[in-house]
Amino acid sequence: MRAAVLREGKIEVRNIPDPTPGPGEILVRTCACGICASDIHFMDNPEADADDDSGLTKYDFNADIVMGHEYVAEIVDYGPKTERKWAKGTRISSLPVLIRPDGPKVIGYSAEALGGFGEYFLMTEAIAQVVDSAIPDELVALADAMSVGWYYVRRAAVAANEIPLVIGCGAIGLSVIAALKRQGVGPIMAADFVASRRQTAIAMGADIVIDPAEVSPYRAWRELATGSPEATRTLMGGADVRKCVVFECVGIPGVLNGVVKSCDRDTRIFSAGGPPEGEHLNTMTAKRKGLNIQFGGGPLMSDWNAAFAEVASGRLDVTPMTGRVVGLDEMPSAINDARDANGPARIVLVPSR
């Protein structure tokens, strides 16, 4: 098969052997697969993967790795010990995990679990979900990105006296905004330096957008919460005092610490960015403010399935997030273009192009 292969730190399009489905697995043909910032983080920071002893991923510099974990595919064939639930040609997707006897593998993050940046890959039948609508492939492929927002918003359980502030309006920030909107939370404030992403944030449900180059998001949040941008940062008071829930969705070193230094007392912070280079935090500042920081941990399968159902049914329109669609030969340049913060939230591969 043809695939965009990561080897020795570089992406090249060439032929590699077709994968063979093992017990409980389905051989699928990629219909569409989004390019995620996590793919770029994995590609550019092998040292971060080397520090991970979970066994879920494995960056082997000398092996052929096919990334791509935001996918929709069609069934080609079944491996042994499968129920053969659906006809060949049925469109399916799943939480990007390949369940193996030696433990789960994240699809697209090792040579043992090839992803959707090639013509074919493997999925686990037991967790696959059918696309039972006519929603275009490039939209269905965004369900995985949306599931991240579903997870963080569920974990946040935003209370009536809390106002959310989303820092960064890339795909994950947009997924948080959409999830907040679906839950009826508001007003939703979002901040990004890029005008086009602020406009996309509004399309996905944000009520107020902030350009950090012009005004501090925390000052703007304080004015919204108290009616005064000069209100005390401690905001000490009773249960009716408005509190801040920050969703940090940037993934660049220094951003999370900037939240710690700039946010108000008792703020809850959900760090979805997670720069692979690591982050320095002013822990004494966090301690004095009584901050609560949640790092990652999801999405869980329930979050993924819920987000997939919304996207695949068309109840959640992710069209504003989609950028251009590319073929396999364009992948080396498309992955580089995905680094550009001024670009669309998602560039999507369709191998058949």
* Helix/strand/coil (H/E/C) assignment for every residue in the chain: CEEEEEECCEEEEEECCCCCCCCCEEEEEEEEEECCHHHHHHHHCHHHHHCCCCCCCCCCCCCCECCCCEEEEEEEEECCCCCCCCCCCCEEECCCEEEECCEEEECCCCCCCCCCCECEEEEEHHHCEECCCCCCHHHHCCHHHHHHHHHHHHHHCCCCCEEEEEECCCHHHHHHHHHHHHCCCCCCEEECCCHHHHHHHHHHCCCEEECCCCCCHHHHHHHHHHCCCCCCCCCCCCCCCCEEEEEECCCCCCHHHHHHHHCCCCCEEEECCCCCCCCCCCHHHHHHHCCEEEECCCCCHHHHHHHHHHHHHCCCCCHHHEEEEECHHHHHHHHHHCCCCCCCCEEEECCCC
Whole-number pLDDT of residue 235? 46
Give every CB contact of residue 207 below 8 A, 6+ residues apart in sequence.
186, 187, 188, 189
Q: Which CATH superfamily is domain 2-142+318-349 in?
A: Medium-chain alcohol dehydrogenases, catalytic domain (3.90.180.10)
User: pLDDT > 70: what percent of the chain?
Assistant: 95
Residue 277: pLDDT band (50, 70, 90) is confident
- Of residues 311 and 230, more confidently modeled: 311
In the predicted model, what is the mean pLDDT of the chain? 93
Residue 274 or 292, more confident:
292
Tens digit of each residue's pLDDT (9 = 90 or more) over 65-114: 999 999 999 999 999 999 999 999 999 999 999 999 989 999 999 999 99
Architecture of domain 146-295: 3-Layer(aba) Sandwich (3.40)
Between CA 1 and CA 19 the distance in angstroms is 9
In this prediction, residue 274 carries a pLDDT of 82
pLDDT of residue 227: 80
Q: Where are the domains of the chain?
A: 2-142+318-349, 146-295
pLDDT at 4: 98
The 10s digit of each residue's pLDDT in 211-262 is 999 999 999 999 999 886 665 444 444 545 789 999 999 989 999 999 999 9
- Give the pLDDT mean for 336-342: 90
What integer pLDDT is reported at residue 223 of this predicted model? 93
Q: Does 295 have pLDDT greater than 50? A: yes
Per the document, the length of the chain is: 353
